[in-house]
Amino acid sequence: MPDVLDLSQSPPLTQLSEDERLLRANVRAFAEAEVAPHVREMDEQAAIPRALIDQLFDLGVMAIEIPETFGGAGAHFFLSVIAVEELSRVDPSVAVLVDVQNTLVINALLKWGSSDVKERFLPRLASDTLGAYALSEAGSGSDAFALTTRAVEDADDFVLSGRKLWITNAREAGLFIVLANANPEAGYRGITAFLIEHDRPGLQIGKKEDKLGIRASSTCELLLDECRVPKANILGELGRGYKVAIETLNEGRIGIGAQMVGLAQGALDHALAYVQERRQFGTAIAEFQAVQFQLAQAQTELEMARLGVYNAARLRDAGLSVLTEAAMAKLFSSQVAERVTSLALQLFGGVGYTKDCPVEKLYRDAKIGQIYEGTSNMQLQTIAKQIMQPRG
């Protein structure tokens, strides 16, 4: 008989270290004190004030994994997940700004940046510069590598021309990671990642999208018209941009999972408080078994989604593959977020359908989780491909 694996000493995934508990408490307090009073105004104006972004830098959540030598916190990926989750309980728009900064932009520079790139850009990202990640185009959504943006070599530079769409943080960003094809004949093996500063000639921020949800988060097109970028600003190696994109997005999906878990928890918290107040037939609706069972189901699904996100984040910090786990975490958490926010809104009754109800916004915010950083169908395809492989 094989030995039985003793799991009695393994802590549960939701058990946090002292640093993780402290960050959760600090970010929660910040979100409730500094973000919550402005949520409706930011949603209506479709903008996050620069002063609030500066506060996020001061809080330390904009550079969680950047080493202390470059001005960051020198912490681990899981803390980014905690920060995104807690901010999302109050406003997923603010949370995705922090998420893109950490799980996409900084993550890519830490993994693929040369020593020179890190020395030039990480201190800025740690202090006051927001980053953005420009991959998508009009004809390359789920088919992310059908890029038409071109990069033509010219002496010590590459000259980029093309149009990127749906770029989160575009309006506020000071640095963009832009994917372009430097060798179209090689197909996806010609794709290269470039670092482009916002004030470089030939780069222009275009139309800002008028969105259903996460409205305060800027989503804009990025126009490149013979934008000259020095070869020293290549991220990774020439022709290796596809690998930069794939590996970065795998980890970015964990961050989106955290966003979905956080916003669902925020909606459920509102609902749990409201059912104690709302009275029908002479009693609080919290006393109705039907309501209790729906809330119990919602809390169960939400906790399972949280465990999936935490598991993927822990695996990433352990240096293990997260391809399948990240896809599962994003897929399930986005489904749960839609169901939980819908239930919460319904429990509010007619009030829930008005702008005065905070759940109305969270309901709108939830839908994007099944779309960006890989649609739900793309996550299913990734999971299916992995589980159908022969088992060793």
Q: What does the pLDDT profile of the chain (392 residues) look like in tens digits? A: 334 334 344 445 567 899 999 999 999 999 999 999 999 999 999 999 999 999 999 999 999 999 999 999 999 999 999 999 999 999 999 999 999 999 999 999 999 999 999 999 999 999 999 999 999 999 887 787 789 999 999 999 999 999 999 999 999 999 999 999 999 999 999 999 999 999 999 999 999 999 999 999 999 999 999 999 999 999 999 999 999 999 999 999 999 999 999 999 999 999 999 999 999 999 999 999 999 999 999 999 999 999 999 999 999 999 999 999 999 999 999 999 999 999 999 999 999 999 999 999 999 999 999 999 999 999 999 999 999 998 76
**Helix, strand or coil, per DSSP, at residue 278:** coil
| Distance (Å, whole) CA 98 – CA 217 | 10
Return the sign of the alpha-carbon dihedral for residues 267, 273, 276, 281. negative
DSSP assignment string, 240-291: -HHHHHHHHHHHHHHHHHHHHHHHHHHHHHHHHHHHHH-EETTEEGGG-HHH
Architecture of the structural domain at 243-387 = Up-down Bundle (1.20)
CA 355 to the chain's CA centroid: 25
State which H helix or E strand residue 152 sits in.
Answer: strand 150-154
- Of 65, 221, 360, 373, catalytic: 373
Q: How far from 190 is each of 139, 152, 187, 222, CA to CA, in Å?
A: 17, 11, 6, 21
Residue (of 225, 176, 221) closest to 202 by Cα position:
225
- Token digits for 98? 């922090």
- Residue 197 near residue 239 (C-beta atoms within 8 A): no
Catalytic: 373? yes
> Within 13 Å and on the Cβ side, how many CA atoms surround 21?
5
The amino acid present at 309, given as its one-letter code, is: V
CA 218 to the chain's CA centroid: 13
pLDDT of residue 143: 82
pLDDT of residue 145: 75
Q: 194 phi and psi, to 5 degrees?
A: -120, 145
pLDDT of residue 8: 41
| Distance (Å, whole) CA 82 – CA 281 | 41
Q: 237 phi and psi, to 5 degrees?
A: -120, 160
- Residue 44 near residue 102 (C-beta atoms within 8 A): no
> Within 13 Å and on the Cβ side, how many CA atoms surround 243?
10
Q: Please provide the CATH number assigned to the domain covering 18-130.
A: 1.10.540.10
CATH H-level, domain 132-239: superfamily: Butyryl-CoA Dehydrogenase, subunit A, domain 2 (2.40.110.10)
The amino acid present at 82, given as its one-letter code, is: I
- Token digits for 349? 């009754």
| Distance (Å, whole) CA 117 – CA 124 | 11
What residue spans define the domains of the chain? 18-130, 132-239, 243-387
Q: What is the pLDDT of residues 182-227, one digit of tens each?
A: 999 999 999 999 999 999 999 999 999 999 999 999 999 999 999 9
Q: How far from 221 is each of 14, 135, 233, CA to CA, in Å?
A: 38, 11, 21
pLDDT of residue 391: 77
pLDDT of residue 4: 38
pLDDT of residue 1: 33
**Helix, strand or coil, per DSSP, at residue 341:** helix
